[in-house]
C-alpha cells in the first residue's frame, strides 16, 4: 500500500486536525505504517522535534496518533503571526525571515511547492500511507493560484480529498455544495466526498439531506461523527485548550485533597504554546481559566504568564490592563507566579530587543534577577534535567537569551520566593515534577490541595487519541475510506457548476513561478535571506 488522503474543511476549525489524527490512529491500529503531513501551518503553538526542528504542535500530536516520531518533513512550512500583518516564516524547522501576507501570497508561497512536494514524496517513500491536513478552506478562490496546502498539494500528489464540515455551526449542506462548486474541474475531480463532524441527534433525520447532497454533487458522505465532549487536541490557535476542554466539558474528578487549586493564565497578545497548561487542567481539583482583567487574579492560587510571540507587546498589555501591578502585589505577598518563555522574560529586570519588536531596551517587571537580550538566531532545543527533586523534560523556542544573576536555579531559569521563571515549554507534562510543583504552589497559597498520585498526562493523551480513532472506526465507512486511501478518488465524478472563477492577477513584480533552481524565497524583515527551498529536513 502506498496511498494517501487530503483532509480538507469547509472552514477553519471544521475539525481537520481531529479527523486527521483520528484517521492516523485508526490506520496504525490496523497495522498500517502511517504519517501525518501539513504542507503549511499558521500557528503560534509549535513543538521542537528531537532533531531540533520547529513544527506545528498539531502535527506533533498527529504523529503521536500515528505512533511515529515527528519530523520537519511533516510540516515543512510554519507561519508564526507576529502582528502588523506579518509572520515569521519557519522553513524545514528553521526560521528564515519575516514576511507580510501580501508578500507571501504574492508568489513566494508558490515557490515553496517544490519543497513541500519533496517532503511529501520522502514520507511516501517511508510510510504505507500519508494523511494530509489542509488549511482553512480549499475554496479560498482569491488564494488558489498560490495554494500549496489544499488543492495545490492534492493535485500535485494526485490525492483524493475528503471535505469535513462542522454541522454544529449550521449550514453544512450549503458549505459542502459551495466548497465543491467553487473549485475548478481539475480540482473537483479529486474531491471524493464529505465527512460530517459534531452531529447531535438522530442520524436518520440527517440521511435524507445526505441523499440529496449525493444527488446534487455526485459525491457520497463517508461518515457522520457525533459531537463528543473533551476531544480537543493541541490547537493551532484560539483558547480551546485540549485537556482544559476535557475537564470543563466532562465529569470533573473531585480533588484528591480538601481544596481545589485555581490557576489563572494571563491571555497575553500573540500567546504561544498555551498548551503548556493542559497538564495542569488534567489534574483532579485544578481549575484553569484564561483571564485579561486584574480583578480576575485576586482569587487565583497560581498565576501563569505564558509564552508569546511578542514579549514587549505582552509587557505593555500587562501594564495597560493593570495586570502588571497585580503581579507585583502577588509577589510582594508571597503568592505564586510562574512565567514561561516570553512570560519568564517579562518577569525579569529588563529586555534588550532589536529583533522581535525592535524596541531596544525595555524595563521588565523586576520580579526575577534576569536580563534578556534578543538574538537573531532562534533557540530550538529539547532539554532534560531535574527540578524540585524530580526529572523534567521540555522544549525551548525563543529568541530571547536570559542572563540569570541570582535566585534559586529552576530549570534554565530561576526562582525567587514564590515567583518562578523558565524558558522550558512542556515541563508540566512530566508527572512527578508537576505534582511536586503543585505541592509547592498549594503550600504557598495556603490551600489544602493534594496532587493525585496516579495522574499520567501521557496516558490521558493516549486515551484521547484512542477516542479519536474510535470515532473514525465506529462512525465512518472505514472500508470506503480504506479504498479511497489505497486507490484514490473515484473516476467520473461529475462537475458541479459554476466552478472556479478566473484567478486574480498576482501582485506587481511577482511572477508566481518558482525559480528553476528552487530559490526565490526571501523574507522582508531584518532576518531575511535567500533560502534554497529544496533543502532536506534536518
Active-site residue list: 341, 425
Any alpha helices (H) in 137-296, and if so which ranges?
A: 151-157, 172-181, 185-188, 203-217, 242-249, 278-281
Beta bridge partners of 350: 363, 371
Beta bridge partners of 272: 307
Rg (CA), the chain: 24
Residue 479, Cβ density class (10 Å: 0-12 exposed, 13-18 middle, ≥19 buried): exposed
Any alpha helices (H) in 370-477, and if so which ranges?
A: 431-445, 457-475
175-to-67, 181, 221, 473 alpha-carbon distances in Å: 33, 10, 13, 25
The CA distance from 438 to 238, in Å, is: 26
Residue at grid coordinates 485548550: 241
DSSP 8-state code for residue 13: T
Cβ pair 73, 66 in contact under 8 A:
no
Residue 517, Cβ density class (10 Å: 0-12 exposed, 13-18 middle, ≥19 buried): exposed
| Phi (first) and psi of residue 299, to 5 degrees | -95, 10
Beta strand pairing status for 77-83 and 40-42?
parallel
The CA distance from 16 to 288, in Å, is: 26
Amino acid at each position: 500500500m502506498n496511498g494517501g488522503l487530503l483532509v480538507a474543511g469547509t472552514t477553519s476549525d471544521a475539525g481537520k486536525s481531529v479527523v486527521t489524527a483520528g484517521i492516523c490512529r485508526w490506520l496504525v491500529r490496523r497495522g498500517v505504517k502511517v504519517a501525518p503531513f501539513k504542507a503549511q501551518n499558521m500557528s503560534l503553538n509549535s513543538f521542537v522535534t528531537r532533531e531540533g526542528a520547529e513544527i506545528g504542535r498539531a502535527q506533533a500530536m498527529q504523529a503521536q496518533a500515528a505512533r511515529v516520531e515527528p519530523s520537519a518533513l511533516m510540516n515543512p512550512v510554519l507561519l508564526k503571526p507576529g502582528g502588523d500583518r506579518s509572520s515569521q516564516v519557519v522553513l524545514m524547522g528553521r526560521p528564515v525571515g519575516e514576511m507580510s501576507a501580501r508578500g507571501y501570497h504574492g508568489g513566494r508561497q508558490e515557490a515553496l511547492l517544490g519543497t513541500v512536494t519533496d517532503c511529501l514524496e520522502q514520507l511516501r517513500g517511508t510510510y504505507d500511507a500519508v494523511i494530509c491536513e489542509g488549511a482553512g478552506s480549499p475554496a479560498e478562490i482569491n488564494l488558489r493560484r498560490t495554494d500549496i496546502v489544499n488543492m495545490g498539494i492534492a493535485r500535485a500528489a494526485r490525492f483524493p480529498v475528503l471535505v469535513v464540515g462542522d454541522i454544529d455551526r449550521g449550514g453544512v449542506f450549503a458549505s459542502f455544495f459551495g466548497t465543491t462548486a467553487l473549485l475548478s474541474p481539475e480540482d473537483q475531480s479529486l474531491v471524493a466526498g464529505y465527512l460530517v463532524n459534531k452531529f447531535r441527534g438522530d442520524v436518520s433525520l440527517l440521511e435524507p439531506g445526505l441523499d440529496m447532497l449525493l444527488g446534487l454533487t455526485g459525491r457520497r458522505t463517508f461518515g457522520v461523527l457525533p459531537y463528543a465532549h473533551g476531544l480537543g487536541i493541541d490547537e493551532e490557535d484560539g483558547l480551546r485548550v485540549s485537556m482544559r476542554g476535557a475537564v470543563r466539558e466532562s465529569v470533573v474528578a473531585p480533588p484528591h485533597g480538601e481544596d481545589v487549586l485555581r490557576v489563572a493564565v494571563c491571555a497575553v497578545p500573540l500567546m504561544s504554546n498555551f498548551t503548556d497548561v493542559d497538564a495542569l487542567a488534567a489534574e483532579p481539583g485544578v481549575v484553569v481559566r484564561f483571564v485579561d482583567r486584574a480583578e480576575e487574579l485576586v482569587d487565583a492560587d497560581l498565576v501563569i504568564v505564558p509564552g508569546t510571540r511578542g514579549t514587549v507587546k505582552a509587557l505593555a498589555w500587562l501594564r495597560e490592563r493593570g495586570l502588571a501591578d497585580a503581579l507585583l502585589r502577588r509577589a510582594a505577598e508571597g503568592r505564586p507566579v510562574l512565567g514561561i518563555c516570553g512570560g519568564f522574560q517579562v518577569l525579569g529586570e529588563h529586555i534588550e530587543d532589536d529583533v522581535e519588536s525592535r524596541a531596544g531596551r525595555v524595563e521588565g517587571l523586576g520580579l526575577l534577577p534576569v536580563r534578556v537580550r534578543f538574538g537573531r538566531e532562534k533557540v530550538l532545543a529539547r532539554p532534560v534535567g531535574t527540578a524540585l527533586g524530580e526529572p523534567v523534560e521540555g522544549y525551548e523556542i525563543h529568541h530571547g537569551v536570559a542572563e540569570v544573576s541570582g535566585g534559586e536555579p529552576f530549570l534554565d531559569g530561576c526562582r525567587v520566593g514564590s515567583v518562578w521563571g523558565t524558558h522550558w515549554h512542556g515541563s508540566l507534562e512530566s508527572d512527578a515534577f508537576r505534582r511536586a510543583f503543585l505541592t509547592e504552589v498549594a503550600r504557598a497559597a495556603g490551600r489544602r490541595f493534594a496532587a493525585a498520585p496516579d495522574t499520567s498526562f501521557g496516558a490521558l493523551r493516549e486515551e484521547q487519541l484512542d477516542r479519536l480513532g474510535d470515532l473514525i472506526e465506529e462512525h465512518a465507512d472505514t472500508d470506503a475510506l480504506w479504498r479511497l486511501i489505497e486507490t484514490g478518488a473515484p473516476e467520473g465524478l461529475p462537475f458541479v457548476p459554476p466552478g472556479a472563477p478566473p484567478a486574480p492577477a498576482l501582485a506587481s513584480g511577482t511572477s508566481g513561478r518558482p525559480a528553476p533552481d528552487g530559490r526565490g524565497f526571501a523574507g522582508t524583515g531584518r532576518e531575511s535571506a535567500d533560502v534554497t527551498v529544496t533543502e532536506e529536513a534536518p
